[in-house]
Structure 1
Amino acid sequence: MSRPPLQFLQAFVSAARLGNLSRAAASMNVTVSALSHQMRQLEERLGYPLLTRHARGVAPTIEGRRLLEQIGPHLDAINDAFRPFQARRDCVLTVSAVPTMASAWLVPRLGRFVAEYPQIEINLQSSQLLVDFERQLQFDAALRVGDGNWSGLVSEPLIDEWLVPMASPALVERMGGIGALPLTEWPLLGDPDGEWDRWFALTGTKPPRRYIAILDDSESHHRAALDGVGVALGRVTRAHLLLQSGQLLLLSDQRLKTPWSHWLVYPERSKAHKGFLAFRQWLHAEADTHRRDMQGQ
Structure 2
Amino acid sequence: MNRESIADLLAFIAVARERSFTRAAARMGVSQSALSHTIRALETRMGVRLLTRTTRSVLPTEAGERLLETVAPRLEEIDAELAAVSEMGSRIGGTIRITAIDLAVDGLIWPRLAPLLAAHPELRVEISTDYRMVDIVAERFDIGIRWGDQVAKDMIAVRIAPDMRQTIVATPAYLQANGVPQSPQDLARHSCITLRLASSGGLYAWELKQGEREMQVRVEGQAVFNGAYQMLHAALSGTGLAFLPQDLTEPHLQAGRLQSVLADWCPVFPGLHAYYPSRRQSSKALALVIDAIRLRG
With normalisation by structure 2, the TM-score equals 0.50
Work out which of the two has the higher radius of gyration on C-alpha atoms and give 1 or 2: 1
Contact 2:191 2:221 in 1 (8 A): yes
Unaligned runs of 5+ in 2: 8-33, 44-49, 51-66, 88-92, 195-202
Are residue 130 (structure 1) and residue 130 (structure 2) matched? no
Paired position in structure 2 for 1:121: 124
Q: 1:280 offset after TM fit, Å?
A: 1.4
Aligned residue identity for 2:114: G
Unaligned runs of 5+ in 1: 11-66, 290-297
Tell me how far apart the structure 2 counterparts of residues 260 and 130 of structure 1 sit (CA, whole Å). Answer: 19
Are residue 195 (structure 1) and residue 201 (structure 2) matched? no
With normalisation by structure 1, the TM-score equals 0.50
Tell me how far apart the structure 2 counterparts of residues 225 and 115 of structure 1 sit (CA, whole Å). Answer: 36
- Say if 1:96 and 1:172 are closer, same or farther in 2 by CA, change over 3 A: same
Tell me how far apart the structure 1 counterparts of residues 255 and 38 of structure 2 sit (CA, whole Å). Answer: 58
Contact 1:225 1:248 in 2 (8 A): no
- Say if 1:216 and 1:260 are closer, same or farther in 2 by CA, change over 3 A: farther
Aligned residue identity for 1:195: W
- Say if 1:75 and 1:156 are closer, same or farther in 2 by CA, change over 3 A: same
Q: 1:112 offset after TM fit, Å?
A: 3.2
Residue identity (%): 12
Paired position in structure 1 for 2:238: 228
Paired position in structure 1 for 2:94: 92
Paired position in structure 2 for 1:276: 286
Aligned residue identity for 1:236: Q
Tell me how far apart the structure 2 counterparts of residues 260 and 190 of structure 1 sit (CA, whole Å). Answer: 23
3-state secondary structure, aligned to 1:147 = helix
- Say if 1:152 and 1:166 are closer, same or farther in 2 by CA, change over 3 A: same
* Count of equivalent residues: 209
The 5 Å alignment of 1:140-289 reads 140-147=142-149, 149-159=151-161, 160-167=163-170, 171-173=171-173, 182-184=180-182, 187=190, 189=192, 195=206, 198=208, 201=210, 215=224, 219=228, 221-237=231-247, 239=248, 243=252, 249-251=258-260, 256-269=266-279, 272-284=282-294, 287-288=295-296
Q: Which piece of structure 1 moves more, 68-77 or 95-104?
A: 68-77
Contact 1:98 1:143 in 2 (8 A): yes
Contact 1:141 1:270 in 2 (8 A): no
Contact 1:164 1:254 in 2 (8 A): no
